[in-house]
Amino acid sequence: MKYTKLLYLAIPSFLLFSCTKLDEKFNGDLTAAQVGGSGGSGSPDALLTGVYNSMRGAYQDQSEWWAAEEHTSDEAIGPTRGGDWDDNGVWRVLHLHRWDADHSFLRNTFNDLGGIVFASTDLLKFNPTASQAAQARFLRAFANFSWVDGWDQVPYREEGSNILDFPKVRKGTEVIDYIISELNAIMNDLPDGPANVANKDAAKVLLMKCYLNKGAIANRVSPTFDAADMNQVITLADQIIGSGKYSLTPDYFDNFAPTNDVKGAAENIFTAENKGGSSSGNVRSRWFCTLHYNQNPSSWNGFTTLSDFYSKFDATDKRRSETYAGVTDVSGIHPGFLIGQQYDQNGTALKDRGGSPLAFTPEVKAIETGSNLEVTGIRVIKYPIDYKSGDNADNDYVYYRYADVLMMKAEALLRSGGSASDAAALVNQVRERSGNADLASVSLDQLIDERGREFYWEGQRRTDLIRFGKFLQPWQEKPTDDPKYLLFAIPNQQLSANPNLVQNPGY
């Protein structure tokens, strides 16, 4: 829709940037018709569609929130391959934890999260139904959670305030308390489903994440976990489990496949709807950013995982590699991790552009040199490839799954002195689905590894590593680093535009 695109592009300049020409043009109060690309109609349906679509850039693009969560972790690296994938070092500094307040991808992420908040708040002025208002407020809370998680400071405007006034700022656990209050206020007005709209169970999962991460938001260097918060996590998990609506999808990769709105319906709690062939976010980047030029589809030969992370999987773990109908028989690709010699669907060995075997190596460096630039690094295919829909892939983008409910409950039990055997039973439910042996017991160190195996490349790893106190530890291609990197820097442009923002310590 032309309207939606205009809304999305206009948001950051209105909300966040200092612009002399804008100030000259809008020298008084803005009217509803001038704000948010509403076209003067103020249609709540159109505005709500705009809010949902504004989520696509921030969360589905490979260079925004996903990069902030994955490239800063032990799960992903974007190596420079000669002249390929340098991009002025933006990927390297994420993995090495050397970003600053001018990092373009982090700046864009900050801006686009603000766009979601702006569009959600703007909708509330146009007499939405109770359900529409609740959905918009949920999406606003969802973006606020990412914002506070990444930057600790969340700009906001009171509803009905002058758009030319500087946004106020909430910080730290004040934001978490605000999100919790919002979610409880709107819970009864949210729809029961389906997964591709903001729904009651999605709100419960977000509440679980607020309570589970509250101690890490309060003190990222040394997180503590209040027993009452952990009990809230357990209570909310029990409500979702006890509803009987969800179960683990027998085939792990069905949760991410084309038509996962059907195949993954038992497990997926909250997703972004992508309509194959007509209207999608950039979910296709999940395979384009990693596959080689000579694979099907011909892709960008960029991102990989690290061999130490890959080694955390048992050889028989189905999450590591699987023959998948509609993918392997079309291209020879097995969803999961691609390592070693690659083949097409007929079993023919593929070659790189120089005619050497296309055999992906476990080793990878932030800056690759030598003759094997094209094949370093283990590739990741989390979303089974949609070969039918072109650039608008049909895979709905997954935010929340039932497996996460089970794992968060297990963590809350461990952190609150609850039953260790109950925690192990929950983790084993998730492990058994992928053919792994049961754990006799589970520790927090085992749990963070299991979360990595279950949720790899789903845009959660940085948050998990901080909560488990492991984000500052060294891993492949990253040394031990400064605690300042537990937060991202407030973009310099934002500091110039809003005096209520203060640069995070150390930057």
Per-residue pLDDT in tens (0 to 9) along the chain, 507 residues? 222 332 333 334 334 433 222 222 222 233 333 333 333 457 999 999 999 999 999 999 999 999 999 999 999 999 999 888 889 899 999 999 999 999 999 999 999 999 999 999 999 999 999 999 999 999 999 999 999 999 999 999 887 778 789 999 999 999 999 999 999 999 999 999 999 999 999 999 999 999 999 999 999 999 999 999 999 999 999 999 999 999 999 999 999 999 999 999 999 999 999 999 999 999 999 999 999 999 999 999 999 999 999 999 999 999 999 999 999 999 999 999 999 999 999 999 999 999 999 999 999 999 998 889 999 999 999 999 999 999 999 999 999 999 999 999 999 999 999 999 999 999 999 999 999 999 999 999 999 999 999 999 999 999 999 999 999 999 999 999 999 999 999 999 999 999 999 999 999
The encoded tokens of residue 33 equal 């018709």
Three-state secondary structure call for residue 376: strand
Cβ(483)–Cβ(472) below 8 Å: yes
Count how many residues are written for the chain: 507
CA angle (54, 56, 58) in 5-degree steps: 85
Cα–Cα distance, 131 to 134 (Å, whole number): 5
Three-state secondary structure call for residue 103: coil
Which residues are CB-neighbours of 402 under 8 A, at least 6 positions away?
Answer: 240, 246, 247, 248, 266, 267, 268, 269
Q: Which residues pair with 171 in a beta bridge?
A: 153
Phi, psi (degrees; rounded to nearest 5) at 400:
-130, 135
Beta strands in 144-254 (DSSP E): 153-156, 168-171
Which residues are CB-neighbours of 319 under 8 A, at least 6 positions away?
Answer: 252, 313, 336, 434, 453, 454, 456
Could you give the maximum distance between any two Cα atoms of the chain, in Å?
A: 68
Three-state secondary structure call for residue 182: helix
Cβ(420)–Cβ(304) below 8 Å: no
Task: Pick the closest to residue 337 from 366, 303, 386 (CA basis).
Answer: 303
DSSP state of 275: B
Cα–Cα distance, 453 to 403 (Å, whole number): 12
Q: What pLDDT is recorded for position 84?
A: 86
Cβ(462)–Cβ(72) below 8 Å: yes
Give residue limits of the domains in the chain: 2-83+98-170+486-497, 279-395, 401-483
Q: What pLDDT is recorded for position 370?
A: 84
- At residue 299, what is the residue type? S
Cα–Cα distance, 378 to 455 (Å, whole number): 17
Instruction: Tokens 């683990």: give the residue.
Output: 248
Which residues are CB-neighbours of 230 under 8 A, at least 6 positions away?
Answer: 211, 212, 412, 413, 415, 416, 418
Which residues are CB-neighbours of 1 under 8 A, at least 6 positions away?
Answer: 46, 49, 53
The encoded tokens of residue 471 equal 């984000």
Which residues are CB-neighbours of 391 under 8 A, at least 6 positions away?
Answer: 280, 284
Cα–Cα distance, 151 to 485 (Å, whole number): 10
Q: What pLDDT is recorded for position 301?
A: 97
Q: What pLDDT is recorded for position 40?
A: 41
Cβ(225)–Cβ(415) below 8 Å: yes
Q: What pLDDT is recorded for position 28?
A: 29
Q: Which residues pair with 170 in a beta bridge?
A: 154
Which residues are CB-neighbours of 481 under 8 A, at least 6 positions away?
Answer: 97, 472
The domain covering 401-483 belongs, at the CATH homologous superfamily level, to Tetratricopeptide repeat domain (1.25.40.10)
